[in-house]
Amino acid sequence: MNATADPPTMLVRHFRMILLWPLQLLPPEGAPPGREHWEHFEQAASGDHWREVVDEITGDAAHFKERHYGEFVTFLPHVQRFLYGKGQSATGRPGGSAPRIRVYRRKDIARARVTYRGGATTVFTVAHVDLHFFLDIDVVILVFEIFAEDIDLAQAQDALHRFGRAYPSYWDADGTGRRCLRRVEWLAADGRVLATSDYENRDEYLSFVRQHRSPCIAAHWQYVMSPLSLDPSGPADVTRYRQIEYSRMPLIGYLALDDPTALDRDDFIRLGLAAGPGPDDTLPYSERYLQDFEYRHCYDRDWSAPLGRAATRYMVSPHTLVVIGNCNAPSFLDTETGVLGQVRHQIFLIFLIAHFHKAALLALSDRLSHALSRLDPRNHESVREFKRSIRGLLEVFLRFTHRYWSHDISNQLQAQELFRMCAEHVGTDRLYAEVREEIKDMNDYLDSDTLRRQGNTVVRLTVVTTFGLIATIATGFLGMNLIAAADEPLATKVTFFALVTVFAACLMTYAVLKSRRLSDFLEALSNDRLPASAKLSALRDVWRMRRNTR
C-alpha cells in the first residue's frame, strides 16, 4: 500500500504511537559532584515549558483512577519500588522514599503536522511529551505520544516507519531525506508553528558529522529537547545529550480497525516491524527471512477465532511493540481497564523498562571505554584518576543491579511474557553479561595491580630489613660504644646524633633505591643450583648501570 492521495482501502479508526528515545546525558562542566541530572535540568528549565509530573499514586487522590491501580498491581514489589518509591508509614508519617524516576512534561506542543513523501498530510494530537530521568544513571528517555482518528492504513504504516527518526539516513538526488518524513511541524494550541524539521538540509548534516564525529539531530527534535543541548555542539555549562543507539526511536503502536482479520500477512509484517507501506501482497523482506515471523515476533495468546471481535494481536521486535485489535470491541478501546488503558500504562512501562535497561548498560559501557581511553600508564595522576573512575563505575553498576535490574517484573502471564519477548529482542541479558564482565576484568586488573605494588613494597622492606639486620647485630655486639661520648657536652652529643642519623638515613635510602637489585641478589644467593660465579655476578649487578630499553 502506498501513502499517496489514492482512496484509502482500510481506515485505522484510532491510531496511537508512543515514541521512546533513550539518550545519554553529560553533566555541565564544573558542576558540583553528587547532583542528579534532573537538578541541573530544573535549574536550566526554570520558567520554561517543562513542569514536573506529580505521580498519580502519591499525588492528588482525585486523580488516582482504576487504571493506575491496575498498573501498580501488575508489577512485582521490587519493580513497584523502582517505579513508585515507598509510600508513607502505617502511622501516617512520611518515612518512605521518592521514586527513582523523575518525569517532566512539556506543555507547549499541542499537535504534530506531518507531510508524507507523496504530499499527503496528517495532523496528530500530541498527548504527552515527557522526559524520564533516572536516579544515579546518566540516561534520559524522551516519551512522545501522538494519536489520530480515521487515518489511512498506509499513512499509519508510514508514520510508524518514518516519524521517529532523529536524522535522515541518506538523501535522494533532489535533496529529500530518506527513511524520514518530508516535513514535521510542531504546532501550538493556537495553531502557531513552533518548530519545523530540516531533513532536507544535507550540507548541515554532512558538515556536523565531519566537524564533530557525531550525528546531527533534526531541528524539531532539538527543539523538543531544549534546554538540554546536543553534544558536542552545545555549550559546556549546560546538560548535554548524545545518541546511545542509532536514528530510529523505539516505539509502541496501537491500531484499532473495523476488522483486523482482513489484514494480509504482509500488512501485519509491515506493522509489526514498522517497515513502512508497500505494494499489496508484497513482503518488505525476503520470504526466508520472514518464515518464522509469527513465532519470533507475534504474541497471539488473545488472537483466535473464538474471541471474535475481542481478538488482539501483539507484535514485538527490537524497536517496536505494536498492538492491533477491533475498534468495535468495547474492551479494546476502554481507557480504564481495556487494552488501550493497558497499552498506555502497563505495556508502556514494560517497554520502557526493557529499553531503559539497554540504554543504561550501553551508557555504562561507553563510560568504561572513555575511562580506558584516558589512561596513560606512564602518568601517575592518570593512573590514579583511572582507578577512581573504575571504582566509581563499579559502584554505579552495583546500584543499577540492585535498584533496576531484574529478569522478572511481573507474575501476570501476559506482562511476564511480553517483557521476556522485549528483553530477548533488545538483548539486555547478553549486554548485561558483557558489561559485568568488562567491569569485572577492570576491577580484577586494579586488584592485581594493587597486590603487585604491595608485594613490591614488602619485598623492598624485607631487603632493607635484611641488610639492616647486619648493622644491628654488629652495633649490638660492639655495645654501641664506638665513640665514648657519654661525658661530652650536650652540643657534641647532638652533633654525633645528627651525623649518625643522616648517615643511617642515607644508607637506608640507598638500600631502598637498590632494593630491587638487592632482592635479585638475595634470590640468586639462596639458589643452590647457581654456581658461585653467577652469585658474584648478581652482586656486581647491584651497582652495574643498565641501559633504558624503553
Q: How far apart are the first and last CA of the chain?
A: 68
The angle at the Cα of 143, spanning 83 to 423, to the nearest 5 degrees, equals: 60
158: which 3 cell numbers?
508510514
- Measure the CA dihedral 324/329/333/334, to 10°: -130
Q: Which three cell numbers stand for residue 455?
A: 608485594
pLDDT at residue number 190:
94
> What confidence tens digit (pLDDT) does each residue in 478-526 have?
555 566 666 777 777 778 777 777 777 777 777 667 666 666 666 666 6
Burial class (CB in 10 A: 0-12, 13-18, 19+), 410: buried
* Residue 119 resides in a domain: yes
Buried b (16+ CB within 10 A) or exposed e, 8-21: eebbbebbbbbbbb
The answer to whether position 107 is within a domain reads yes
Does 198 fall in a domain?
yes
- Is the sign of the CA dihedral 409, 411, 414, 417 positive or negative? positive
What is the grid cell recorded at 418? 511480553
Residues 137, 363: contact at Cβ < 8 Å?
Answer: yes
Count of C-beta atoms within a 10 Å radius of residue 488: 13
- Under 8 Å between Cβ of 464 and 471: no
- Identify the burial level of 290 via C-beta atoms within 10 angstroms of its C-beta, where 0-12 means exposed, 13-18 middle and 19 or more buried: middle
Q: SS3 sequence, 181-198?
A: CCEEEEECCCCCEEEECC
| Pairing mode, strands 251-257 and 320-326 | parallel
Are 117 and 3 a contacting pair, CB within 8 Å?
yes
What 3-state DSSP class applies to 149? Answer: strand
225 assigned to some structural domain: yes
Angle at 167 between CA 166 and CA 172, to 5 degrees: 145
DSSP of 82-94? HHH-B---TTS--
- Residue 149 has which C-alpha cell? 482518528
Q: What values do phi and psi take at 519, rounded to 5?
A: -65, -40
Nearest residue to 185 (alpha-carbon basis) of 218, 156, 212:
218
Dist. CA 392–CA 396, nearest whole Å: 6
- Asked, for residue 62, whether it belongs to a domain, the answer is no
Q: What is the DSSP letter of 171?
A: B
Comparing C-alpha atoms, which of 255, 251, 248 is closest to residue 321?
251
d(CA 359, CA 127): 24
Give the residue among 101, 97, 149, 95 at the shortest CA–CA distance from 122.
149
The burial class, CB within 10 Å (0-12 / 13-18 / 19+), for 109 is buried
Helices 428-478/380-403 angle, 10° precision? 130
Does residue 349 form part of some domain? no
Give the structural domain span for 105.
11-55+99-333
- Model pTM greater than 0.85? no
Write down the pLDDT at residue 454: 67
Tell me the pairing of strands 320-326 and 111-115. Answer: unpaired
Q: Which of 49, 198, 182 is nearest to 110 (CA)?
A: 49
> Is 174 contained in some domain?
yes
The Cα–Cα gap between 161 and 277 comes to 8
AA identity, residue 289: Y
Are 138 and 396 contacting, i.e. CB atoms less than 8 angstroms apart?
Answer: no
Does residue 244 fall inside a structural domain? yes
Integer Cα distance of 261 and 180 in angstroms: 29
Q: How many CB atoms lie within 10 A of CB 487?
A: 7
Residue ranges of the chain with per-residue pLDDT less than 70: 1-9, 30-34, 55-63, 87-98, 305-308, 453-461, 463-464, 466-486, 511-512, 514-529, 535, 539, 542, 545-550
Secondary structure of residue 177 in the 3-state scheme: strand
Cα 225 from chain centroid?
17
CA 220 to chain centre: 23
Contact residues for 328 (Cβ-Cβ < 8 A; gap 6+): 258, 309
Q: How far apart are CA 102 and CA 83, in angstroms?
A: 10
Contact 349, 71 (CB under 8 A): yes
The set of cell numbers assigned to 154 is 498506509
For residue 345, which of 166, 127, 140 has the smallest C-alpha distance?
127
| Total tally of structural domains belonging to the chain | 1
Which candidate, 131, 109, 165, 184, places its Cα nearest to that of 23? 131
Return d(Cα 209, Cα 393) in angstroms, integer.
29
